[in-house]
Structure 1
Amino acid sequence: MDSIKLFKQVTDAITTVILYILLLALILGMAKTLLEIRFIIFESLESGFNHMVTSVLTVFIVIDLFKAFVDYHEHDRIKLTDITDATILIVLREIAVGLYAQKFGYEFILSLSVLLLVLGIIRVLAVKYSPAKVQVPSTPVKEEVKPSKTGLGALLDRCSSEPEGN
């Protein structure tokens, strides 16, 4: 058996298992988010909102990872934009959780913000200089040469293209 085919089969099997695990995590995360509505109703709004923000951002991270694995499973390549999107969401989640819990110092939040800025720049550059976009230098378009008609077809074409003058 060819080692490349074996590698492809093994990675396909692993990504399929991971996709099912991520799908299960997505379903359970959504159910947990819906169940956390009770914190808003029965406890303080601040505590419930903190739980909801954390859960929703976590679900978005799982969705982004799911998208990255589906893209890898279909195209056998990892897109830098998918990975940076997931990382940006993770950093945003950590900033949001830290701000609500008020457990981070300004130095840590500042460092996460700089990391977020760098990731945003990487994301913009990855989109701008994407290898999927082939940049072709502009070349003049050649005019299509039609074969010349002879006989009755040429006579009809000449008659219909000449302006009528009286």
Structure 2
Amino acid sequence: MNYLKKSVRIGANYYSEFLQRSNKSGILKTVEALSMIFTETTVRASFKDLVTNVLTLIVVLELIRAFVDYFEYERVRIETVLEVLIAFIIREFMIHLFESTLSGLEVFLWCAGIIIVVFARTLSIIYRPDKVLSKINQSR
């Protein structure tokens, strides 16, 4: 069991290092895209790239935070996973919006999906396992 924890920590450290490096390159891409806004003939294309890079950066930051939470609590909290999912869904939704490929029904379905995941995150905070266990122990 001890070897398993050590190997998981080593693997996660390497993955965390990879995410940090990709985060730095994401920041550089974002700055580059920001400079291209002023030089491109089509502002819309460069703005779409900028939005995509910024939203990807947010998703990577959420993933890094999930790893930090894992090492702090030695488990993956459902709130953290749902926050990463929310960031990813919003990223994909924004990319499709800037490509102008969505119909009205698809926009409604994307928004409904985001609302469902946000509602699930709210429920995961309200019915946290430590809160539920403390209420059960108090009632005894």
Query: Shorter-chain-normalised TM-score: which range?
Result: 0.7 to 0.9
Partner Cα separation in structure 2 for residue 80 and residue 108 of structure 1: 27
Q: Which of structure 1's runs of 4+ aligned residues deviate more than 6 A?
A: none
Deviation at residue 32 of structure 1 after TM alignment: 0.6
For 1:48-75, what per-residue CA distance to the aligned partner results, in whole angstroms no more than 9, with x for missing partners?
2211111111100000000001111232
TM-score scaled by structure 2? 0.87
The 5 Å alignment of 1:89-108 reads: 89-108=87-106
- What count of residue pairs does the alignment treat as equivalent? 135
Cα distance in 2, alignment partners of residues 12 and 106 from structure 1: 46
By percentage of residues, which structure has more helix?
2
Q: How does 1:116-131 map to 2 (within 5 A)?
A: 116-131=114-129
2:84: which partner in 1? 86
Structure of higher RCO (CA pairs closer than 8 Å, 6+ residues apart): 2
> Displacement, 1:39?
2.1
Gaps of 5+ in 1: 139-166
Q: Any residues of structure 2 matched to 1:1-166 within 5 Å, and which?
A: 4-43=1-40, 44-133=42-131, 134-135=134-135, 137=138
Contact in 1 for aligned 2:33/2:47 (Cα 8 Å): no
**RMSD of the TM alignment (CA)?**
1.8
How does the TM-score come out when normalised to structure 1? 0.74
Q: Once the two structures are superposed, what CA deviation does each residue of 1:85-130 show, in whole Å capped at 9, x if it has no partner?
A: 1111111111111111112333333322221111011111111122
Query: Which segment drifts farther, 20-29 or 39-48?
Result: 39-48
